Amino acid sequence: MVMTTELPIRLVLADVDGTLVTKEKILTPRAIDAVRRLRERGILFAITSGRPPRGMAMLLAPLAIDEPVAGFNGGVMVDAHGKVIEMRTLTEAQARKVIGIIRDHGADPWVYTGTDWIVTRADAPHVAREQWTVKFPPREGDIESDLSGVVKITGVSDDADLMHRLEHDLQAAMGDDASAACSQPYYVDVTNKDANKGGVVLALERLLGVPAAQMLTIGDQPNDMLMFARSGRSIAMGQANDAVKSAATYVTTSSEDEGFASGIERFVLEKDGR
| Domains identified in the chain and CATH numbers | 11-87+196-270 (3.40.50.1000), 92-192 (3.30.1240.10)
The Cα 10–Cα 134 span in angstroms is: 29
Mean pLDDT computed over every residue of the chain: 94
Is the pLDDT assigned to residue 73 strictly greater than 80?
yes
pLDDT tens, position by position, 18-66: 999 999 999 999 999 999 999 999 999 999 999 999 999 999 999 999 9
Tens digit of each residue's pLDDT (9 = 90 or more) over 131-151: 999 989 999 999 999 999 999
- Global pTM value: 0.86
Residue 273 has pLDDT above 70, yes or no: no
169: pLDDT strictly greater than 80: yes
Confidence of residue 13 (pLDDT cuts 50, 70, 90): very high
Q: Provide the pLDDT for residue 115.
A: 83
Give the tens place of pLDDT for each residue, 220-248: 999 999 999 999 999 999 999 999 999 99
Band the pLDDT of 4: cuts 50, 70, 90: very low
For 148-162, the pLDDT digits (tens) are: 999 999 999 999 999
45: three-class secondary structure by DSSP = strand
